[in-house]
């Protein structure tokens, strides 16, 4: 800090510039955070469907496998899972991965983990739809695909929305776990800045940004929920 003041005679100007630098670095981190967030959702929302379908399969080994998968991914820390995927190729197969591997490993880890959670939410939603809905559709002549797409799915979406919202907001904050892989997302940036500046302010600012991120998501989710508020069952 002291050596810096040599460059900036005017202390107030120095604070402003330093604050700008901090925001810049946190902003760069936020880009990576948002990227992990978006890629995870794009991958895990559909993969969760596969997990749920396997879990509900009448073919017992498949259902058992899905159950095992869900149990492992929900039952161990995401941080460990990220590290396992990051270093697994080397320790298991002696493979040297390129410098970009950490980003790929990170996305794979997040997607696999969140697919387990989403899969369980989907399953609980699908299984909460009364049998009578399927039977009414069947008697009316709807095909199985129509029954699912037109009758079941819209009701499932409404029912699982609160649980999905929870999980998605958790994901915003979980992205910070990418720091264990040396990915400079927002939390890593805040940590580095805090160490360099011997200040808690970068943490506080990062927290604020996480919170605003979540507020935005809450806002979107609320709007979707409102749109489906026209009925209850």
Q: Which two tokens stand for residue 231?
A: 């009925």
Residue 33 CB burial class (10 angstroms; 0-12, 13-18, ≥19): buried
> Cβ closer to another protein: 20 or 130?
130
Does residue 231 bind another protein (CB under 8 A)?
A: yes
Among 146, 166, 170, 222, indicate the residue that binds another protein (CB under 8 A): 146
Half-sphere exposure of 58 (CA within 13 A, CB side): 0
Name 115's Cβ contacts closer than 8 Å, sequence gap at least 6: 43, 44, 47, 48, 50, 51, 73
Whichever of 7 and 230 has its CB closer to another protein, that residue is 230
Measured from the CB of residue 152, what is the shortest distance to another protein in angstroms? 10
The one among 141, 219, 223, 226 contacting another protein by CB under 8 A:
141
Report if residue 133 touches another protein, rule: CB under 8 A: yes
Binding footprint of another protein, residue count (CB under 8 A): 21
Contact between 155 and another protein per CB under 8 A: yes
* Minimum distance from residue 126 beta carbon to another protein (Å): 15
Q: Is 142 in the site for another protein (CB under 8 A)?
A: yes
Tell the smallest beta-carbon distance from residue 169 to another protein (Å). 25
Shortest Å distance, C-beta 154 to another protein: 5
Listed in sequence order, the residues at least 6 apart from 72 whose beta carbon sits closer than 8 Å to its beta carbon are: none
**Segment near another protein (CB under 8 A), from 68-76, 79-87, 148-156, 182-190?**
148-156
Residues that bind another protein (CB under 8 A): 130, 132-133, 135-142, 146, 150-151, 154-155, 158, 230-233
């Amino acid at each position: 800090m002291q050596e810096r003041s040599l460059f900036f005679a005017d202390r107030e100007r120095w604070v402003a510039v330093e604050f700008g630098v901090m925001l810049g670095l946190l902003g760069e981190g936020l880009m990576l955070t948002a990227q992990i967030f978006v890629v995870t959702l794009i991958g895990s929302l559909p993969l969760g469907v596969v997990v749920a379908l396997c879990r509900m399969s009448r073919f017992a080994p498949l259902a058992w496998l899905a159950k095992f998968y869900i149990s492992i991914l929900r039952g161990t820390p995401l941080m460990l899972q990220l590290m396992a995927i990051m270093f697994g190729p080397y320790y298991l197969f002696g493979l040297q991965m390129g410098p970009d591997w950490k980003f790929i490993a990170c996305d794979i880890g997040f997607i696999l983990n969140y697919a387990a959670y989403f899969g369980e939410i989907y399953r609980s939603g699908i299984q909460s739809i009364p049998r009578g809905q399927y039977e009414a559709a069947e008697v009316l002549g709807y095909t199985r695909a129509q029954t699912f797409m037109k009758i079941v799915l819209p009701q499932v979406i409404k029912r699982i929305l609160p649980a999905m919202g929870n999980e998605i907001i958790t994901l915003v904050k979980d992205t910070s776990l990418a720091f264990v892989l040396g990915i400079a997302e927002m939390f890593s940036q805040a940590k580095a800045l805090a160490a360099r500046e011997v200040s808690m302010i970068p943490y506080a600012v990062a927290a604020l940004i996480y919170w605003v991120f979540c507020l935005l998501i809450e806002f979107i989710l609320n709007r979707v929920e409102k749109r489906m508020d026209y009925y209850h069952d």
